[in-house]
Amino acid sequence: MNESITAIVPAAGVGSRMKADRPKQYLTLLGQTVLEHTVTKLLSHPLINQVVIAISDDDPYYSTLALANHDQIVRVSGGTERAGSVLSALNYVCQNSHSEWVLVHDAARPCFRLDDVSKLIDTATQHEVGAILASPVRDTMKRANDEQDIDHTVERVALWHALTPQMFRAEPLKHALSTAIQQSVTITDEASAFEWLGHNPALVAGRADNIKITQPEDLALAEFYLRRDEEMK
């Protein structure tokens, strides 16, 4: 691949499960916000030349960061759901950028590795739909009944955790997301919009330490992974 790619970072969530005084993308790890770790690392990939970040209109934090004045970073208005935030960024990309491909990555996943991004780009660009980073399920999986007792064990052989980045062509992704949103389909990642249209994006096995900061206990783990990665540089 020799053309450059735009990364889209949905960062308009409130992160209520973190029980913190601010959205999780603005919590500090090793002296930088989670969002700064994520965006700086994306821009350090040789094929990524622009990051479009979806931020809530009433967000008081973003404008205080150096990212706000970076010439490779664009801010757009986030939506009420993650899919709406991604669509808002895609509208910008399709009107203003010449990138055929976009790579969507959660702000709350600062621990991804650049070599996983390269693997994803290689697979997605050879695939007719696109691809996502994912990791195989390790634990035995249970389906609960209404009483939160176990109804049955789910065969885990073909089960994967969907991670990000997820990489697709910008125009088809915009079409898939906007049609799904119009029809009130619940979309929690980009791949599911394509699945809903009957397509089968590729799964690329990525590192399981690409965690999404979701609950308070995730912060210490993310800090551990980031420190380890810095020491390995």
Q: Where along the sequence are the contacts to ligand C5P (CB under 6 A)?
A: 10-13, 25, 54, 78-82, 85, 106-108, 212, 214
Cβ closest to ligand C5P, residue 34 vs residue 204: 34
With residue 134 as reference, give the H or E element that holds it: strand 130-136
Residue with tokens 């931020």: 55
Q: How far is the CB of 123 from ligand C5P (least distance, A)?
A: 23
Cβ closest to ligand C5P, residue 13 vs residue 130: 13
Q: What is the DSSP letter of 110?
A: T
Q: How far is the CB of 147 from ligand C5P (least distance, A)?
A: 27
Cβ closest to ligand C5P, residue 78 vs residue 165: 78
With residue 116 as reference, give the H or E element that holds it: helix 114-126
**Measured between alpha carbons, how far is residue 228 from residues 13, 24, 111, 209 in Å?**
27, 21, 10, 11
Q: In sequence order, what are the beta bridge partners of 210?
A: none
Q: How far is the CB of 108 from ligand C5P (least distance, A)?
A: 4
Cβ closest to ligand C5P, residue 38 vs residue 123: 38
Cβ closest to ligand C5P, residue 13 vs residue 201: 13
Which phi and psi (to 5°) does residue 22 adopt? -150, 165
Residue 84 and residue 11 in contact, taking contact as beta carbons nearer than 8 Å: no
Q: In sequence order, what are the beta bridge partners of 228?
A: none
Residue 169 and residue 121 in contact, taking contact as beta carbons nearer than 8 Å: no
Q: How far is the CB of 157 from ligand C5P (least distance, A)?
A: 26
Q: How far is the CB of 98 from ligand C5P (least distance, A)?
A: 24
**Tokens describing residue 165:** 């980045």
